[in-house]
Structure 1
Amino acid sequence: MKAILILIFFSIMVNSQMMTSLYFKNNSYELNQESKAKLDSLSQLKSNLTFRIFGNCDLSGNAELNKKLSENRANNVNEYLKTKIGNNIKLKSAVGLGVEKQINDNSTEKLRSKNRRVDIFIEKYFAQGEKISRKMLPSFLSTKVAQMKVKDTFSLPDVNFIGGRHVWLSSGNSNLMRLWKILKENPSLEVELQGHICCDYDNFDGEDSDLGTFNLSWTRANAIKEYLLKQGIESTRIKVNGLGHLNPVIYPEITEADRVKNRRVELVLLKK
């Protein structure tokens, strides 16, 4: 596979970001298996990135204890990532914010649990005038299972989405049926669906206009998961991840065809 071709014409940098969050039990800074899996996935990103890590708490306990707990959460995530990331990812900071960034009113345990978190801000810089043209990945639909390798990433050809929505274009229907058939006939396969967006380089992720949430890359991947579940594939075989705009096939998107190519879901083989 050819390497990404990058032509840099200017040195001015345009900041692009996304964010992901990890959640913790009350009064704990230990990472659970779900959080470790998410960090493992982040560590495999191939772009040149900077991670900034912020620990948070709910309102339980006093200010001093909450500050220390949030610092422990941020530091624990930082130390875990140090053992996983490559040279392309830089850990810029790990800060405990205590209770400064409450995202709800803590009126129920479910709401409090959303404040017991670590937010990871992921930053990528595109040069002004930078151009990216990436060769399409091998198709999951046309690769023999015997030739697939765990951790390989595959494309889902023609499975692209309407702008700002998690609804795929009708041209993808037949290939999604083929995806279902492969998974049905190979029940040992486990996969991760990775969603992508186009165009929005100022936010963490795109806005899903159907749901009003800023996690469009995730909702696109999850839409395919929901489709597969309705066809009888077990949910334990399918993970979902949203990568925002971090891995464009084409940048910048000049035409609608460019934008459509970036509105996609790719597939990582987790288990054979």
Structure 2
Amino acid sequence: MLTSVYFKNNSFDLNSESKQELDSLSQLKSNLTFRIFGNANPLGSEVLNKKLSDQRAKTVSDYLQKRIGKNIKLSGSVGLGISKQINDNSTEILQAKNRRVDIFIEKNFAVGEKISRKPHPSFFDLKIEMMKVKDTFSLPDVNFIGGRHVWLPKAKPRLYQLLKILRENPVLEVELQGHICCDYENFDGEDQDLGTFNLSFTRADAIKAFLVKMGIDPKRIKAEGQGYLNPVVYPEVSEEDRTKNRRVELVLIKK
């Protein structure tokens, strides 16, 4: 689980909304570990942004330290400067998303303990009339090479199946949600092909690009990245576990 709080430009002061979010985290009752990472957008110098991200992380850490119970451990805080940009900073809205502190929340697992979440219903197995808008569906076999937005060979026939459904149902609108595995030091993973830290998004966007290339109106498809949130298996202890989490799911927006 991850929560982020956001800051004004060149500031490390918490606003009321951020304080409310942190207060909620401090009341969690499970045995948890919080890891805190500060970030900045690239408007200032590298030195200034590193210092600012450190200050933001420390502000959040100090605020939580005064409020958490003994069941929650703070494993430290660190500022990452501008090294973990999750978008291209082309607008003020996107810049604001990089002026943030990420709080990674992890359950403390016993040795050998593992969570396996039941997958969502398959988008390929249900009739459109039986689906509900805003429901989430799995895309079985649509998995990816580690660290890349390149899908595995077994995904290809499934993507053509998805293409066929969209062609036969021209009013359908969908959101593709990308996921990653294994990178718990960042909100999202590094795309080794692009050098960006938005791997979950580039996976969803790669499928969107394929569908658009094949003639689907891009207005019908939205691509979003979910980072490492909502894993199917956690923690990953085998390549099979990791592959399951390197996936894209589908949310029905309109039918």
Q: TM-score, normalised by structure 1?
A: 0.63
Q: Does 1:119 align with 2:119?
A: no
In the aligned structure 1, how far is the partner of 2:216 from the partner of 2:103? Answer: 32
User: 1:6-155 counterparts in 2 under 5 A?
Assistant: 49=1, 51-57=3-9, 90=24, 101-105=40-44, 113=92, 115-116=95-96, 119=100, 121=102, 123-129=104-110, 130-155=113-138
Shift of 1:252: 1.8
Shift of 1:71: 7.2
- The verdict on how the C-alpha distance between 1:200 and 1:143 changes in structure 2, with shifts beyond 3 A counting, is same
Contact 2:6–2:18 (Cα < 8 Å) also in 1: no
Contact 1:51–1:90 (Cα < 8 Å) also in 2: no
User: 1:88-237 counterparts in 2 under 5 A?
Assistant: 90=24, 101-105=40-44, 113=92, 115-116=95-96, 119=100, 121=102, 123-129=104-110, 130-237=113-220
- The verdict on how the C-alpha distance between 1:115 and 1:153 changes in structure 2, with shifts beyond 3 A counting, is closer
In the aligned structure 2, how far is the partner of 1:151 from the partner of 1:228? Answer: 21
Q: Does 1:239 align with 2:178?
A: no
In the aligned structure 1, how far is the partner of 2:228 from the partner of 2:168? Answer: 33
Shift of 1:213: 0.9
Shift of 1:121: 2.8
> What stretches of structure 2 of length at least 5 have no aligned partner?
27-38, 46-88
Identity rate of aligned residues, in percent?
54
Shift of 1:53: 1.6
Contact 1:138–1:154 (Cα < 8 Å) also in 2: yes
In the aligned structure 2, how far is the partner of 1:50 from the partner of 1:90? Answer: 13
Q: What is the identity, as a one-letter code, of the residue corresponding to 1:104?
A: L
Could you say which residue in structure 2 is the equivalent of 1:270?
253
| 1:164-203 alpha-carbon deviations (Å, 9 max, x no partner) | 0000001100010010111111111111111111111222
- The verdict on how the C-alpha distance between 1:206 and 1:116 changes in structure 2, with shifts beyond 3 A counting, is closer
Q: What is the identity, as a one-letter code, of the residue corresponding to 2:156?
A: N
Q: TM-score, normalised by structure 2?
A: 0.67
Contact 2:190–2:199 (Cα < 8 Å) also in 1: yes
In the aligned structure 2, how far is the partner of 1:78 from the partner of 1:147? Answer: 40
Contact 1:217–1:243 (Cα < 8 Å) also in 2: yes
In the aligned structure 1, how far is the partner of 2:125 from the partner of 2:241? Answer: 23
- The verdict on how the C-alpha distance between 1:256 and 1:121 changes in structure 2, with shifts beyond 3 A counting, is same
User: 1:250-265 counterparts in 2 under 5 A?
Assistant: 250-265=233-248
Q: What is the identity, as a one-letter code, of the residue corresponding to 1:173?
A: K
Could you say which residue in structure 2 is the equivalent of 1:97?
none
Contact 1:124–1:246 (Cα < 8 Å) also in 2: no
Shift of 1:101: 3.8
Count of residues in correspondence between the two structures: 195
